[in-house]
Structure 1
Amino acid sequence: MTILQVVDKEFSKVPIIDISALISQTSNSSCVIADQIRQACQDFGFFYIVGHGVDEQLQEQLEDLSQQFFAQDLETKLKIRMALGGRAWRGYFPVGNELTSGRPDLKEGIYFGGELAEDHPLVKAGTPMHGRNLFPSNIPQFRETVLEYIYSMTKLGHTLMAGIALSLGLEKSYFADRYTKDPLILFRIFNYPPNSSLSKSEWGVGEHTDYGVLTILKQDNVGGLQVKSKSGWIDAPPIPGSFVCNIGDMLDRMTRGLYRSTPHRVQNLSTSNRLSFPFFFDPNFNVEVKPIELKDVVVNDDKSDRWDKASVHEFRGTYGEYLLNKVSKVFPELRQKVLESAE
C-alpha cells in the first residue's frame, strides 16, 4: 500500500505530490506532476512530496545525531557558536538568539551551507555566507552525515526546480541556465524545546515567509507547522516518507505574484523536543534575479495581502545583496560583529 493511499484527505489540506516520475525523468508523467505543482503553488504555496528518492537511513541517522547534539549542555554546544563562523554565517545559536519580525524565536539551531575550502575564490574574496561549516568534534559521523544530506538535497532541489520551470510553461533548464547551476545552499537544523507554559501565544517561530526560491523541509514526528491558507491557518503535519516544500519571496517576485510565498509558523505544544530540517535552495549569490516574462500574468503587488506589508517586487540587485539585507535582521548583533571584523 502506498503512502498516498493511507493518508486521509482530512489529515492535511496541503497537496501531496508523488514526484517519482520527475526523479526518473519520465516525460509524460512529468507533465502531470508539473500541473500538480502549478496548482499547489497557486493555491497554497506549499506542497508535500513523496517518491523523492532521498535515502531513509540517511535521514534517520541525521535525526539521531541531531538529537545527540541538542541533548548536550549549552557550554558544549557553544563550542561551535556562530560567532566563530564569521562571514560564513555558520554554527550554533541558543534559544532566543534568532529573531522573526524583531521577536525572539523559541528555538535553537545550527546553520550550515555548502562546504568550501579556505582557498576557494569566493572564500578568499571574503564573500559573505561562503566558507567552511562548523561541526561538533565529539559526535562521530556528524560531519559526514550532514554533508551527505546536503548533497542529496541539492540534487533534489535541481529536480524540483526543473518541475517548477515546467509548471510555468518554461524549459526545464530555465532556472539552472540562469540562476541555480551553482546555487546558494543554506541548511538549518532547528530544535524547538517543549512549550513549558503550553501558551498558544508563544511561537517557536512566528508568522513569516521564506526569503528565497525553494524550501524543502524535513519534519520529525512531533508536528507543529502551520500554513496560512486562503481560508485561514491549517496544520501541515508530518507525513511518513515526505518532505514539505514551499516557495519563497524571490520566486513570488520572479513569477510576478503568480506563485505567492505563503506565511507559515511553528508552535511546539508537545512535551518533547521538536526537530526541524529546512533546506533552502536559492539562486547563486552573485546573480541578478529578474522577473520571468510570463504570458497573460498581471503583477500581484498588493502589499496589504502581505504579512509584513512589504513589496517583494521592488528590489533590484544581486541575490546576495537581497539576502544579506534579510538575514541581518535575524541576527543583528552577529551582523555588526561580522561587519567590524571585515573593516
Structure 2
Amino acid sequence: MSQIRTHTGFDRLPIVDVSGLFSDNEDRRLATALELDRAARDAGFFYVTGHQIAREQQAALVEHAKRFFAAPDDWKMRYYIGQSTAHRGYVPEGEEVFAGGKRDRKEAFDTGRELPPDDPDVKAGTPMLGPNLWPDQPGFRDAVSGYYDAAFALGRTLLHGFALALGLPEAHFDTYLQKPPSQLRLVHYPVDPSAEDRPGIGAHTDYECFTILLPTAPGLEVMNGKGEWIDAPPIDNAFVVNIGDMLEVWTGGTYVATSHRVRKVKEERYSFPLFFACDYHTVVAPLPPFATPEALAKYPPVSAGNHLFAQTAQSFTYLKQRLESGELALPDGSKALASFGQQARYSAA
C-alpha cells in the first residue's frame, strides 16, 4: 500500500512569516525554512507575510489590471493570446476549458519573462518562451514587469527555503532558474449579482513548482486531506502560496500539489498568480532523499516544460484547435488534466 503522504484535515491555511529567509543568520533562515516545510507538508497551501514586496508595487499592478479589463472587448482582443508566439496576451472569457469540459468564466492577461527573438531557445521554437504581447496602455508594461521581477525574486527566496527544509544546499535549485517559463497572470472575475454559490474554475493543481498569489477578494477554496473544501480568503499584505506539480515530483510526494478552485462570488475579483517554474528542459524526478521504490514508481521522470505545455495545450481553446488540426502535438508521455494532487487521489480511489 502507498505510504506517500496526504495532507492533514486542516480547516484554515497556515500563516508563515518568511522574513527570516532574508536574514544573514543561517540559523534564522533554517528555522523559517522548517516553518515553510511544515506548512507545505500539512496543507500544501499557506499565507506568507514578511515577503518584502512593497504595497506600492502591488497597488500599481491592481490599478493597471483594472484599467485594462475595463477597456472595450474589441480593443482587448487586439492582444489576443492566440496571436502570440509565446502564449502571452489577452485571454477572453470562455477561452480556458478545465478537466471535465467546464468552460471558465473569467478573463485574463498572461505575461512571462521577456526573451528576445534571437535567444537560442526562442529560435528553436521552445513553447512558452519568447516576447510578451504588451497593450498600448501607458505605464502598464512598467507596472507589470516591476511586479513580475519582485515576485520572481520572492519565489527564488522561497525555493532557497524549501531546499534548506529538504536537507539540500540552499542554492540547489538555482541551476534550474536560468530562464524559466514562469507566468504572471492578471485575472479578472466580472461582477455577477445573480451568482450562486457554485464552482467557477474547476478543481485543479498548478503545473509548476509553486504559485505566489495576490488576490483582492474571497472566492478561492482549497481541498484538505479529508477531501473537504476550505475557504482561503485574502489577508492584508499577505500572499497565498501553494505547492505545484513539480515540487510534488521532486519530493516524491512528500509535498503534495494541493487541489483548489474558485467559486462564484457576488463581488468583482482580481487575482494575480505568479506560477514559479523551473527551466523548460529540466527533467524532474524524485531527489535522492525521497527516491524510495514507491516514489520512483509513482513519479517517473518528467520534463517540466513539456508537462506545463501539455497541460496548457489541453485547456486553452486556441491550442486545442491546433492540436485537433495537427498543427501541434502533445509531447510523448503527456498526462491528462488534473493528474496530480489530492483531487486526483480522490478521483482514483
TM-score of the two chains, using structure 1 as the length reference: 0.86
3-state DSSP of counterpart to 2:283: coil
d(CA) in 2 for partners of 1:187 and 1:165? Answer: 23
Instruction: State the 1:332 CA deviation.
Output: 4.1
Contact 1:257 1:299 in 2 (8 A): no
For the pair 1:103 / 2:99, whether they are aligned, the reply is: no
Relative to 1, partners in 2 of residues 1:287 and 1:296: Cα closer, same or farther, differing over 3 Å? Answer: closer
d(CA) in 2 for partners of 1:29 and 1:214? Answer: 23
Relative to 1, partners in 2 of residues 1:45 and 1:297: Cα closer, same or farther, differing over 3 Å? Answer: farther
d(CA) in 2 for partners of 1:297 and 1:224? Answer: 38
d(CA) in 2 for partners of 1:296 and 1:130? Answer: 31
Contact 2:197 2:264 in 1 (8 A): no
d(CA) in 2 for partners of 1:43 and 1:299? Answer: 20
Consecutive unaligned residues in structure 2, runs of 5 or more: 1-10, 330-349
For the pair 1:293 / 2:279, whether they are aligned, the reply is: no
Cα deviation per residue 1:107-134 (whole Å; 9 max; x = unaligned)? 1101111111222222222211111111
Instruction: State the 1:176 CA deviation.
Output: 1.3
Task: Provide the alpha-carbon RMSD of the alignment.
Answer: 2.2
Contact 2:95 2:317 in 1 (8 A): no
Match of 2:39 in 1: 40
Match of 1:228 in 2: 223
Match of 1:142 in 2: 140
2:305 is aligned, of 317, 320, 328, to 320
Relative to 1, partners in 2 of residues 1:340 and 1:76: Cα closer, same or farther, differing over 3 Å? Answer: farther
Cα deviation per residue 1:126-180 (whole Å; 9 max; x = unaligned)? 211111111210x211011111111111111110000011111111111113x22
d(CA) in 1 for partners of 2:238 and 2:14? Answer: 12
Relative to 1, partners in 2 of residues 1:332 and 1:313: Cα closer, same or farther, differing over 3 Å? Answer: farther
Match of 1:280 in 2: 275
Amino acid at match of 1:176: D
d(CA) in 2 for partners of 1:312 and 1:225? Answer: 29
d(CA) in 2 for partners of 1:74 and 1:247? Answer: 34
Match of 1:9 in 2: none
d(CA) in 1 for partners of 2:138 and 2:149? Answer: 19
d(CA) in 2 for partners of 1:211 and 1:27? Answer: 31
Relative to 1, partners in 2 of residues 1:192 and 1:146: Cα closer, same or farther, differing over 3 Å? Answer: same
Instruction: State the 1:259 CA deviation.
Output: 0.5
1:171 is aligned, of 148, 152, 169, to 169
Trace 1:22-61 onto structure 2 (pairs within 5 A): 22-61=21-60
Task: Give the number of equivalent residue pairs.
Answer: 316
Contact 1:80 1:135 in 2 (8 A): yes
Relative to 1, partners in 2 of residues 1:98 and 1:342: Cα closer, same or farther, differing over 3 Å? Answer: closer
Consecutive unaligned residues in structure 1, runs of 5 or more: 1-11, 302-310
Identical-pair percentage: 37
2:151 is aligned, of 150, 153, 168, to 153
Instruction: State the 1:340 CA deviation.
Output: 6.6
3-state DSSP of counterpart to 1:294: helix
Match of 1:14 in 2: 13
d(CA) in 1 for partners of 2:171 and 2:209? Answer: 15
3-state DSSP of counterpart to 1:204: strand
Match of 1:256 in 2: 252
Amino acid at match of 2:205: T
d(CA) in 1 for partners of 2:278 and 2:75? Answer: 34
Instruction: State the 1:245 CA deviation.
Output: 0.5
d(CA) in 2 for partners of 1:227 and 1:337? Answer: 32
Amino acid at match of 2:304: Y
For the pair 1:183 / 2:180, whether they are aligned, the reply is: yes
